[in-house]
């Protein structure tokens, strides 16, 4: 099983580590299934940028970024080189060791999930 450590730009939130993430699932799905808050206004279909995350470690264990995803990342708040959309980060390896930082989501307009 893959290991994913979620940290938060909002330092009032404690890191959460998921030890049993399965390959074939997205970072967004793993977050939702394990009580990690990550906005996703479009429902996880790569039609917005609200599930924007920073991949701090393990990029090679995730599906490659698409042109469509890059276009939406350009619309995210404070994009960086390690920016991805959680809905598009599909885990490829069962033994992946991934670290994700979730940006401060207080500026995102929309509903929470």
In this prediction the pTM is: 0.91
How buried is 111 (Cβ within 10 angstroms: 0-12 exposed, 13-18 middle, 19+ buried)?
Answer: exposed
Tell me the C-alpha distance between 39 and 81, whole Å.
Answer: 20
What is the average pLDDT score of the chain?
Answer: 93
Tell me whether residue 76 is in a domain: yes
Tell me whether residue 34 is in a domain: yes
> Which tops the pLDDT comparison, 56 or 106?
56
CATH code for the domain in which residue 11 is found: 3.10.20.30
Tell me whether residue 73 is in a domain: yes
Residue range(s) defining the domain that contains residue 50: 2-102
Tell me whether residue 113 is in a domain: no
pLDDT tens readout for residues 2-44: 999 999 999 999 999 999 999 999 999 999 999 999 999 998 9
Q: List Cβ<8 Å contacts ≥24 apart for 61-69.
A: 61/2, 61/91, 61/92, 61/93, 61/96, 61/97, 61/98, 62/27, 62/89, 62/90, 62/91, 62/92, 62/96, 62/98, 63/88, 63/89, 63/90, 63/92
Tell me whether residue 112 is in a domain: no
Tell me whether residue 110 is in a domain: no
Number of domains in the chain: 1
Tell me whether residue 9 is in a domain: yes
Tell me whether residue 12 is in a domain: yes
């Amino acid at each position: 099983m893959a290991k994913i450590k979620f940290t938060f730009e909002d330092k009032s939130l404690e890191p959460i580590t998921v030890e049993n993430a399965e390959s074939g699932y997205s970072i967004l799905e793993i977050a939702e299934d394990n009580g990690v808050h990550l906005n996703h206004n479009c429902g996880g279909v790569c039609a917005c940028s609200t599930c924007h995350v920073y991949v701090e470690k393990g990029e090679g264990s995730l599906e490659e970024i698409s042109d469509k995803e890059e276009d939406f990342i350009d619309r995210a708040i404070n994009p960086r080189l390690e920016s991805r959309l959680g809905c598009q980060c599909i885990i490829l390896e069962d033994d992946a060791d991934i670290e994700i930082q979730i940006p401060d989501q207080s500026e995102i307009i929309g509903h929470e999930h």
